Amino acid sequence: MKKTNQTLGEFIIENQESFKYTSGELSRLINSIRLAAKVVNHEVNKAGLVDIVGDYGSQNIQGEDQKKLDVYANETFIQTLINREIVCGIASEENDSFITVHGNNKDHKNKYVVLMDPLDGSSNIDVNVSVGTIFSIYRRITPTGQPVEMEDFLQPGNQQVAAGYIIYGTSTMLVYTTGHGVNGFTLNPAIGTYYLSHPDMKFPDDGNIYSINEGNYIHFPQGVKDYIKYCQEQRDNDPYTSRYIGSLVSDFHRNMIKGGIYMYPKSSSAEKGKLRLLYECNPMAFIAEQANGKASDGFQRILDIQPTELHERVPFFCGSNKMVEKAEDFMKAAHPKEAKTTGA
């Protein structure tokens, strides 16, 4: 039985043997992410007091305005991972291409690559709404001893060895999985230690919260419109409610605890959707499935999609099993040709 007064460090050590690769590298990698998250958390919490909110004055590879905290978080996570010589490669939503990392001897012997969204929901920074960090970890597939290549990063989500997120909110939490369930740790800011606060996190099998930007309704595919209408009509049974924060980590976290579905479909204004497969959808899908949930692009399992580029976007439906399945039913009914193409 998991102890809720257990620190994250103690938990990692105690559960290291359950991971099939027991060299200790993955444990050190999670510890590095923990450290970087504490540094970023400190800056997020004082953002209103210093000149770190607002636009940075440039755009990322997606053409989106970067916020100052975006850049700070990106640099903090990258430098922490590089300095501890644990990974052989890093890919970030904020960078055009991946970063090759080598040890002091330039031997490229490390086995893991990390993909991350360093500050998800950053458009909410200036209005004091929860933001987060999302990370995804894979074992490299090219031989050790040489620089990483693109194929090390373009792996389907079902090859992830760990994934997680940090939510910087009223309390700061680190939630992660290594394929043996999902556990959440809350930071005690007085002593800088994470404690196990949410052991064995699970999505309720069903829920009544749907999270989507309904302002884009007119641009949504018909299947999504039909599902939203269905949600709005569930009044006599278990009333549905619309809750949308605009920060994937925040919306996902709430829905995992309370039961719900998060949707960011493709639209006439975003033909492939908006969320990135490698930095957002794959890690959240891995967490969802480990927490008794489901993640789909509307027709097929997210974790089975073969990526073709670093910044690839896909539609995303994620949450309680029955809600995602119902959304898929509406998508397949309204778009049978797409369902047939994907084999759904």
Per-residue pLDDT of the chain (344 residues; tens, 9 = 90+): 556 689 998 998 888 776 666 567 888 899 999 999 999 998 888 766 555 555 655 555 655 555 688 889 999 999 999 988 889 999 999 999 999 998 666 677 889 999 999 999 877 777 777 899 999 999 999 998 899 999 999 999 999 999 999 999 889 999 999 999 999 999 998 898 999 999 999 999 999 999 999 999 999 999 999 999 999 987 666 779 999 999 999 999 999 999 999 999 999 888 899 999 999 999 999 999 999 999 999 999 999 999 999 999 999 999 999 999 999 999 999 999 888 777 77
Distance CA 83, CA 111 (A): 16
pLDDT confidence of residue 3? 62
Contacts of 168 (CB under 8 A, 6+ apart): 40, 41, 44, 45, 130, 131, 132, 133
Q: Does the annotation list 213 as a binding residue? A: yes
pLDDT confidence of residue 20? 60
CB atoms within 10 A of CB 160: 22
Q: Does the annotation list 117 as a binding residue? A: yes
Distance CA 298, CA 330 (A): 9
- Contact by Cβ (8 Å): 102, 147: yes
The token pair that represents 318 in the structure block? 């994620």
The token pair that represents 338 in the structure block? 């797409």
Q: Does the annotation list 206 as a binding residue? A: no
- The gap between the terminal CA atoms of the chain, to the nearest Å, is 39
- Residue 103 phi, psi (nearest 5): -75, 180
Closest CA to 90 of 278, 249, 248: 278
Distance CA 264, CA 220 (A): 9
- Contact by Cβ (8 Å): 78, 92: yes
Closest CA to 325 of 195, 230, 185: 230
Q: Does the annotation list 280 as a binding residue? A: yes
Structural element, H or E, at residue 320: strand 316-320
Q: Does the annotation list 93 as a binding residue? A: yes
User: How much of the chain exceeds pLDDT 90, in percent?
Assistant: 68
Based on C-alpha coordinates, what's the Rg of the chain?
Answer: 20
pLDDT confidence of residue 60? 59
Q: Does the annotation list 338 as a binding residue? A: no
Q: Does the annotation list 274 as a binding residue? A: yes
Distance CA 196, CA 2 (A): 8
pLDDT confidence of residue 89? 96
Closest CA to 11 of 246, 213, 19: 19
How deeply is 65 buried, as exposed, middle or buried, from its count of CB atoms within 10 A (0-12, 13-18, 19+)?
A: middle
Q: Does the annotation list 123 as a binding residue? A: yes
pLDDT confidence of residue 302? 98
| Residue 19 identity | F
pLDDT confidence of residue 24? 76
pLDDT confidence of residue 50? 59
Q: Does the annotation list 95 as a binding residue? A: no
Structural element, H or E, at residue 337: helix 336-342
- Contact by Cβ (8 Å): 87, 29: yes
**Largest Cα–Cα separation, the chain:** 67
The token pair that represents 226 in the structure block? 């039909």
In the chain the domains, ranked by start, together with CATH numbers, are 8-198 (3.30.540.10), 209-342 (3.40.190.80)
Angle, vertex CA 259, rays to CA 12 and CA 185, nearest 5? 20
Contacts of 122 (CB under 8 A, 6+ apart): 67, 69, 70, 131
